Amino acid sequence: MNLPNKLSIIRMILVPVIVLVMIFPYAQFDITIPIYNVEFVTISLLNIIVLILFSIASATDFIDGYIARKYNLITSFGKFIDPIADKMLVNTMFILFVFQGIVPVVAVLIMIWRDTIVDGIRMVSSGKGVVVAAGYLGKIKTVSQMFTIIFILLNNLPFEIYHLPITDFMLWFSVSISVLSGLSYFMQSRSVLFESM
């Protein structure tokens, strides 16, 4: 297994670690999580730990792609595992935020629906021998989602100090770009999808 694929596997392994850190019943074991104040904004040590783990996982996404392209290490397994690892990481974080009541469920549902539809489009296209390449909108979507998650974990710092709702903006930007990139995939593949109607 080459290095880019190993990095994708590491990204997948970090997902359940992040889940465990976020949902572990600390109170039942009398574990107190320290809370820090930045001006009038509070942030817990738990958020900081999750932020570090998420940042490491996100970094593997950019590093594995860079290495695979630079050293021509693109493989079929890599094409399969990389987008799955991305979606596991991002969608898991958003689902946990919904569970915690931090983000609206509608926003997360739209992004997950988009991913499901795009996966279906890719599956049908692949069966017809057509490769649906990841476009720039899809890459922008992933980056915007990752930054949204980082801002949520930081409780909108430093923008919250200046009463700028950047996290809310980034969340709905991610939803919008998800829809647009989904439409782009659909338009690329519509001839394949409708050829036997």
Q: Please tell me the total count of domains within the chain.
A: 1
Indicate if the alpha-carbon torsion angle 10, 11, 12, 18 is positive or negative. Answer: positive
The domain in which residue 36 lies consists of 3-193
Query: Which residue, 182, 8, 183, 178, is CA-closest to 79?
Result: 8
Residues 188-196: contacts with CB under 8 Å, at least 24 apart:
188/132, 188/135, 189/121, 189/124, 189/125, 189/130, 189/132, 192/124, 192/125, 192/128, 192/130, 193/121, 193/124, 193/125, 195/128
pLDDT string in tens for the chain (197-residue length): 899 899 999 999 999 999 999 999 999 999 999 999 998 899 999 999 999 999 999 999 889 988 988 888 888 788 788 888 999 999 999 999 999 999 999 999 999 999 999 888 888 877 666 666 667 888 899 999 999 999 999 999 999 999 999 999 999 999 999 999 999 888 888 777 776 55
Among 97, 115, 10, 93, CA closest to 59: 10
Q: What's the predicted TM-score (pTM) here?
A: 0.92
> What CATH number has the domain bearing residue 173?
1.20.120.1760
